[in-house]
Amino acid sequence: MNKWSCLAVACLATLLLSLDLTVLHLALPRLVTDLGASSTQLLWIGDIYGFALAGLLVTMGNLGDRIGRKRLLLIGAAAFGAASAVTAYAPDPELLIAARALLGVAGATIMPSTLSIIRNVFTEPGERTAAIGIWSGMSAAGFAVGPVLGGVLLDHFWWGSVFLINVPIMVLVLAAGIVVLPESRNPNAGRLDLASVVLSFAGVVTVVYAIKEAAHKGVEHADVLAAGVAGVLLVGLFVWRQARLAEPLIDVRLFARRAFSASILTNLLAIFAMSAMMLMFAWYLQLVLGWSPLQAGLAQLPGGLSGAAGGMLAARLIRHLGRNGVVALGLAMNAGSFLYYATLGPSLNYLVLLPVMIVGGMGVGFTFTVNNDNVLATAPRQRAGAAAAVSETAFELGGALGIAILGTVLNSAYRARLELPAALASADPARESLAGAVGVAAALPAEQGAQLMSAARAAFIEALHVTSLVTAGLLAVVAVLALAGLRGVPKVIPEEVLTGAHS
């Protein structure tokens, strides 16, 4: 067995999943014209993948520990390829939504399997950290390349091409995985507790749904509050049940370990901020500066690629700064980049923005690599799938929270600062968001449209400044928490200590 070949297969699968999370957004306008998708259907097309993925991660991570991580990864890869083909040729929105749900189910089998395979193949601590750094780097690269690849495909082909590209890559993952991946499983896993599976899925999906709805309707809306309370109760019941099972889906005792709980929390808050950055930049580059989706994607590419570089450098930095120092440094670098974003205006010197994006992206790579390594190293090898699933679930929740909370901060600040000309005072869609203002302006006479867009862009820039400062402050606080929370975690975590931990 060549362990680096195993890493290459795991990274290829992870790269594709990261691409798939970002490539869809550019295709959404085409779905309205080609399939006649309604606004509600568009929301489900965008959200159903994340609901299925987040809700099933914990279950699939445990299933891999029981039936074999290689087997589950190969099943998931085959299902992902098949669902991608169905998605690409979906003739109507209903089938597209169903196919996206299948993609989410398949993605939930792949994500924890890749990390747990790495955890079991790389048993030497230094190599394990380096391997997770490369894995994290490929994930960051996928997020960055997704919009660029989507823009290129949509410029030349139909909307389904952004999904069809998954098929040959998954065929390659299957072919290589069959040959190079070793099988591993927990020999003493016991049976899968079905009540825990139901509580896990229902709790996570309900919480994610409540977060997403809060971003659209506001926290005070009755069904948002009901979903939030129900989600918290279901998650609470799930945790209560895990503490009483001999073979739980999640060993809640792991959260008593600072290396585990602090890493999960800082990862969640880091992706919280990163998701806000992607949202703000997509609007700023396209709706304020007037760049095309492809130009905007290319402009953000260096930030994602520097995240990949940061992931690969993290293992070396641990030797000099310690694990808490590398995580805190990464968060501080990201906070610094947001301080610069708070100075952006109606025009942009990209040569000044570029190094700031690179520094911020590299900081993200530092943070995710060390935290993912901490999570996997703290859990015993036989439960690597379950530990990886917890880390990935925190990632999904952090992304949803970032869009909901920081997106709300952005929109609230925009509405508070928007000063419309008297003749346009009743243009309600323009008050909701910058995108709404673009739609209203397109239907107005040229002079009024220009006045509206000038006011809307000015309000958005001020809102971007507010949101960037809030995010920078949050990241600075989290950096301090990481410095304290991860203090004392050894630079090299010995394998013999881990194998029996909580077994």
Question: How far is the C-alpha of 219 from the C-alpha of 225, rounded, in Å?
Answer: 7
Q: Higher confidence at residue 343 or residue 275? A: 343
Tell me if 222 is assigned to some domain. Answer: no
pLDDT given for residue 417 in this prediction: 84
pLDDT given for residue 26 in this prediction: 64
Residue 138 shares a structural domain with residue 286: no
Structural domain span for residue 66: 1-192
> Which residue is listed with tokens 């087997």?
71
**Residue 503 tokens, joined:** 């077994």
Residue 275 shares a structural domain with residue 410: yes
The answer to whether the beta carbons of residues 235 and 210 sit under 8 Å apart is: no
Q: Is the pLDDT of residue 246 over 90?
A: no
pLDDT given for residue 337 in this prediction: 92
Q: Which residues of 410-436 are buried (b: 16+ CB within 10 A; e: fewer)?
A: bbebbeebbebeeebeebeebbbbbeb
Residues found in the chain: 503
Q: Is the pLDDT of residue 307 over 60?
A: yes
119, 135, 428: which is closest to 310 by C-alpha? 135
Residue 449 shares a structural domain with residue 318: yes
Residue 187 shares a structural domain with residue 263: no
Tell me if 366 is assigned to some domain. Answer: yes
* Average model confidence (pLDDT) across the chain: 81
- Percentage of the chain surpassing pLDDT 90? 13
The answer to whether the beta carbons of residues 26 and 162 sit under 8 Å apart is: yes
- Our count of domains for the chain comes to 2
Least confident interval from 44-58, 95-109, 471-485: 44-58
Segment 7-18 shows an average pLDDT of 85
147, 165, 41, 60: which is closest to 107 by C-alpha? 60
Q: How confident is the model at residue 498 (pLDDT cuts 50, 70, 90)?
A: very low
Q: Is the pLDDT of residue 499 over 70?
A: no
Tell me if 237 is assigned to some domain. Answer: no
pLDDT given for residue 394 in this prediction: 79
Query: pLDDT per residue over 385-433, tens digit each?
Result: 677 777 777 777 777 777 777 777 887 888 888 887 666 655 666 777 7
Cβ–Cβ contacts within 10 Å for residue 243, how many? 11
Residue 396 shares a structural domain with residue 471: yes
Q: At 413, is the secondary structure helix, strand, or coil? A: helix
Instruction: Note the pTM of the prediction, 2 decimals.
Output: 0.79
The last residue of a domain, from among 153, 174, 192: 192
Residue 188 shares a structural domain with residue 296: no
Write the DSSP symbol of residue 402.
Answer: I
pLDDT given for residue 104 in this prediction: 87
Query: pLDDT per residue over 99-148, tens digit each?
Result: 988 998 998 898 888 888 888 888 777 778 888 888 877 777 777 777 77
Question: How far is the C-alpha of 165 from the C-alpha of 482, rounded, in Å?
Answer: 39
Q: In the chain, how many H helices and how many E strands?
A: 19, 0
The last residue of a domain, from among 148, 170, 192: 192
Cβ–Cβ contacts within 10 Å for residue 117, how many? 30
Write the DSSP symbol of residue 407.
Answer: H
Tell me if 70 is assigned to some domain. Answer: yes
**Residue 83 tokens, joined:** 């669902």
Residue 223 exposed, middle or buried by CB count within 10 Å (0-12, 13-18, 19+): exposed
Element (H, E) at 247: none
pLDDT given for residue 83 in this prediction: 92
Helix ranges (DSSP H) in 3-92: 3-23, 28-35, 39-67, 69-88
pLDDT given for residue 255 in this prediction: 80
Q: Is the pLDDT of residue 289 over 70?
A: yes
Least confident interval from 20-29, 288-297, 351-360, 404-413: 20-29
Query: For 390, what's the count of Cα atoms within 13 Å in the CB-facing half-sphere?
Result: 26
Residue 157 shares a structural domain with residue 262: no
Tell me if 369 is assigned to some domain. Answer: yes
Residue 181 shares a structural domain with residue 261: no
Segment 227-247 shows an average pLDDT of 87
Residue 170 shares a structural domain with residue 270: no
Q: Is the pLDDT of residue 301 over 70?
A: yes
Residue 361 exposed, middle or buried by CB count within 10 Å (0-12, 13-18, 19+): buried
pLDDT given for residue 500 in this prediction: 39
Residue 410 shares a structural domain with residue 313: yes
Q: Which residues of 127-143 are buried (b: 16+ CB within 10 A; e: fewer)?
A: bbbbbbbbbbbbbbbbb
Write the DSSP symbol of residue 253.
Answer: G
Tell me if 242 is assigned to some domain. Answer: no
Residues 157, 163, 168, 174, Cα dihedral to 10°: 180
Tell me if 236 is assigned to some domain. Answer: no
> Which residue is listed with tokens 């679930």?
393
Query: What secondary structure does DSSP assign to 123-182, as a single string?
Result: -SHHHHHHHHHHHHHHHHHHHHHHHHHHHHHHHHS-TTHHHHTHHHHHHHHHHHHHHHPP
> Which residue is listed with tokens 């995010």?
471
Q: The CATH number of the domain where 182 resides is what?
A: 1.20.1250.20
Q: Higher confidence at residue 245 or residue 472? A: 472
155, 167, 164: which is closest to 88 by C-alpha? 164
Q: Please compute Rg for the chain using Cα positions.
A: 22
The last residue of a domain, from among 168, 192, 216: 192
Segment 455-470 shows an average pLDDT of 89
Q: How distant, in Å, are the alpha carbons of 21, 27, 186, 249 from that of 189? A: 32, 42, 5, 10
Question: How far is the C-alpha of 316 from the C-alpha of 491, rounded, in Å?
Answer: 10
pLDDT given for residue 503 in this prediction: 34
Least confident interval from 54-58, 181-185, 278-282: 278-282
Least confident interval from 67-71, 269-273, 359-363: 269-273
Which residues have a Cβ under 8 Å from the Cβ of 207 and sit 6 or more positions away? 228, 231, 232, 235, 397
Segment 274-285 shows an average pLDDT of 75
Tell me if 264 is assigned to some domain. Answer: yes
Amino acid at 309: A
Residue 292 shares a structural domain with residue 182: no
Query: pLDDT per residue over 182-234, tens digit each?
Result: 887 777 766 778 888 898 888 888 887 887 777 666 667 778 788 889 988 99
Question: How far is the C-alpha of 327 from the C-alpha of 479, rounded, in Å?
Answer: 7
Q: How confident is the model at residue 282 (pLDDT cuts 50, 70, 90)?
A: confident
Q: Is the pLDDT of residue 78 over 90?
A: yes
Residue 292 shares a structural domain with residue 369: yes
Q: Is the pLDDT of residue 501 over 50?
A: no
Question: How far is the C-alpha of 430 from the C-alpha of 173, rounded, in Å?
Answer: 46
Q: Higher confidence at residue 29 or residue 64? A: 64
Q: Higher confidence at residue 41 or residue 69? A: 69
pLDDT given for residue 290 in this prediction: 83
> Which residue is listed with tokens 């390829």?
81
Question: How far is the C-alpha of 188 from the C-alpha of 66, rounded, in Å?
Answer: 8
Segment 37-52 shows an average pLDDT of 75
The answer to whether the beta carbons of residues 478 and 267 sit under 8 Å apart is: no
